[in-house]
Chain A
Amino acid sequence: MKKNKCSGKLLMLLTFVFLYLPIAVLIVFSFNDSKSRTVWSGFTLNWYKELFSDRMIIQSLEITLLVSVLASLIAVVVGTFAAIGFFNMKKKWRSPLLTINNIPAVNADIITGVSLSLLFVSAGAVMGFDLGFGTLLIAHISFNIPYVILSVMPKLYQLDPNLSEAAQDLGCTWFQTIYKVILPEIMPGIVNGLLIAFTMSVDDFVISYFTAGSSVQTLSMAIYAMTRRRISPKINAISTLLFAVVLVLLIVVNVRQAQQSKAEEKKQKALRGQRAVSI
């Protein structure tokens, strides 16, 4: 039994090593004093300094963040309302529509990318626009929406069906019902959807590659284009910074959640106590 526990721990350790070793190597080599990815030649912060003076990388980072933030926000608004709409449909309609919603999420990126690109190029020829930030943003919104719907839907199923009726009985308008009752209840699903959409956007290479046009370039595209010369350690530096930001965000979110659930527990306890007294 004890031996079993030990090997379980070992397995966990190996899993973590497997997951985090590449990131550790990336971080270590962002401080390497040469361009090499294999030879360690001393500690330096130069790559971080150069990173902030390299306008190409900074610009592509700006584009990446801007498009990811905008796309995930818009997708979250659209996706949440779409999910509420789906949820209130008759089952006959709901299941086929949800399946249709799932298709883009499981479809290969390359197909989404090429088809969007074809659409934009031909629409652009008719309406007189070129591929650019606008088309990039539309593409990102369109592949983000299914993920938002997928993460909001389960929360809606968990929702007590009597809640919205009760709210309306007590005088809420339909908008107040959504705003004051439904949205707070499904908020964890919305936040989840937002985070997933944001990471999908930051991550995306293939679809951006086909839809970005001539004036904008995302970070992943800039990195890909470096392979003839060699990927600069500035990329290690920027990845390290991104990783650090995400890590801090995750810690903040988790700590907040823990605090909230603790506060909730206290409230529940206090309520139970009161009830006991009043009985």
Chain B
Amino acid sequence: MKKAVSLVMCAVFIVCVFAGCGGSGGEKQVVNVYNWGEYIDPVLLDEFEAETGIKVNYKTYESNEQMYSVLRQGGVNYDVVIPSDYMVSRLIDEDMLAELNFDNIPNYALVDDSLKNMTYDPENKYSVPYMWGTVGIIYDPGVVGEVTGWGALFDEANAGQILMFDNSRDAMGIALKYLGYSLNTTDEAELAAAFDLLKKQKPILQGYVMDQIFDKLESGEAAIGPYYAGDYLTMLENNPNLKFCIPEEGTNVFVDAMCILKSAENKENAEAFINFMTGAQVSATNSDFIGYTSPVGDAKALLELDETAEAVRYPSDEVLAHCEAFTNLPQETLDFYDSMWVQLKS
């Protein structure tokens, strides 16, 4: 009796535990999407499901590097991922992305030509742009005066008021641009000069931040810091004193692009998803929710932007001519970034 009951208990336990593992063989059409946090208007997921009958499993990450490590770790089966430019080229280099079948993505024709065949995907075989934008300086002219270039972030007169990106790629990018070098340089002397500049900058910083910058600039706790153009508009709502500038030395243009992994089990559904997200109305709705710029030209007309918003989201071609996108760096340079960042932060 005793044994029988304990056997039954064991059986129940094992069944309970493994019940969750099965079920993946179901007939239902799904697509597994892995995107940045707070980076889609959730209404669109419902719309996509209603339109196509494909269920979206949606998960989020907080940085390109985190997404990469999850993909590398294995045991996961995402179909669509939406990394930034340099991470797209890294995934291409490491043969992790599948070539897209553009017959299934007719909306690709709507994407601005200037965003096709970008350096990270020169033949544009693997990616479709999702959102793009620039990095600029957000500042309070009442405290730090008018700002036109990166120099203001390294100016001792602004000591204690300055915020800086809390990730190595963006922080180094700013230092390199200020010195007049390329964001993607692999030259050791240039990298060392940029690192020196960051070391000198550290004592006059208020801190290295990511999303805390919203609170610090809105409340006036800090007066100047670099961040993404679209996010400036959100800060402006809470602190009308803030201004935005794209530094004259040029800056980083980022493109977050939709890609399909080689290991994807639902490639056609994934293409349907990418196609849906590239529709003019959908992309406009999404851009309105996120605040970044849609790669679809027709979306601009659908958004009723005021003058400030338009200037921030759609910089002129002359401005863009100075800008650069990140590309993947060789391992040696990445190692330099890692060790330099650890030294800087400790």
Q: Which residues of A contact B18 (CB under 8 A)?
A: 134
Nearest B residue to A50 by beta-carbon distance?
A: B42
Q: Is A206 an interface residue (CB 8 A)?
A: no
Known contacts A121-B74, A230-B211; A225 and B62 CB within 8 A of each other: yes
**Interface size range on B against A:** 35 or more
B238 to A120, Cβ gap below 8 A?
A: no
Name A residues whose Cβ lies closer than 8 Å to a Cβ of B.
34-39, 41, 53-56, 59, 70, 74, 77-78, 81, 117, 120-121, 124-125, 129-138, 141, 173-175, 213-217, 221-222, 224-232
Closest A residue to B290 by beta carbon equals A229
Does B37 lie within 8 Å of A55, measured CB to CB? no
Q: Which of A36, A120, A124, A228 contacts B62 (CB 8 A)?
A: A228
B38 touches A117 (CB 8 A): no
Which of B19, B43, B59, B234 contacts A214, CB < 8 Å? Answer: B59
**What chain A residues lie within 8 Å of B271 (beta carbons)?**
none
Knowing A39-B239, A129-B21, A217-B59 touch, does A228 contact B75 (C-beta < 8 A)?
A: no
Q: Please classify the interface of chain A as helix (H, G, I), strand (E, B), loop, or mixed, using the class held by over half of its residues.
A: helix
Chain B nearest CB: distance from A137 CB in Å? Answer: 5
User: A53 to B47, alpha carbons, bound, how many Å?
Assistant: 13
Q: Are A228 and B17 in contact (CB under 8 A)?
A: no
CB contacts (< 8 Å) of A230 on chain B: these are: 38, 211, 214, 231, 234
Q: Is B32's CB under 8 angstroms from A214's CB?
A: yes
For window 224-246 of B, CB contacts with A under 8 Å fall at 231, 234, 237-239
Whether the Cβ atoms of B36 and A225 lie closer than 8 Å is yes
Q: Which secondary structure dominates chain B's binding surface?
A: mixed
Chain B residues engaging chain A, CB cutoff 8 angstroms: 1-2, 5, 9, 13, 16-22, 24, 32, 34, 36-39, 42-43, 45-46, 57-63, 73-78, 210-211, 214-215, 218-219, 221, 231, 234, 237-239, 290
Chain B residues contacting A77 (CB-CB under 8 Å) are 9, 13
**A226 to B21 CA separation, bound complex (whole angstroms):** 28
For the complex, what is the distance from the CA of A232 to the CA of B289, rounded to whole Å?
12
- For residue A74, which residues in chain B have a CB less than 8 angstroms away from its CB? 13, 16-17
Q: In the complex the two chains form, what is the Cα distance from A213 to B60 in whole Å?
A: 12
Give 5 new A-B contacts, CB below 8 A, not counting A117-B73, A141-B17. A36-B214, A38-B215, A137-B17, A228-B37, A229-B211
Chain A residues near B59 (CB-CB < 8 A): 214-217, 221
Q: Which 8 A-B pairs have the closest CB atoms?
A: A134-B20, A225-B37, A134-B21, A225-B60, A121-B75, A38-B219, A214-B76, A226-B37
Closest to A130 in B: B77
Contacts of A124 in B (CB 8 A): 75
Distance to closest chain B CB from A111 (angstroms): 15
Can you list 23 A-B contacts (CB < 8 A)? A34-B238, A38-B215, A38-B219, A53-B43, A56-B42, A70-B16, A74-B13, A78-B13, A121-B74, A125-B75, A130-B24, A135-B21, A138-B20, A174-B1, A214-B34, A214-B76, A214-B78, A216-B59, A217-B59, A222-B60, A226-B38, A228-B38, A228-B39
A210 → B minimal CB distance (Å): 8
- Name the residue of chain A whose CB is nearest to the CB of B41: A54
* Distance between B30 CB and nearest chain A CB, rounded to angstroms: 8
Chain B residues closer than 8 Å to A41, beta-carbon distance: 238
- Give the complex CA separation of A208 and B9 in angstroms: 26
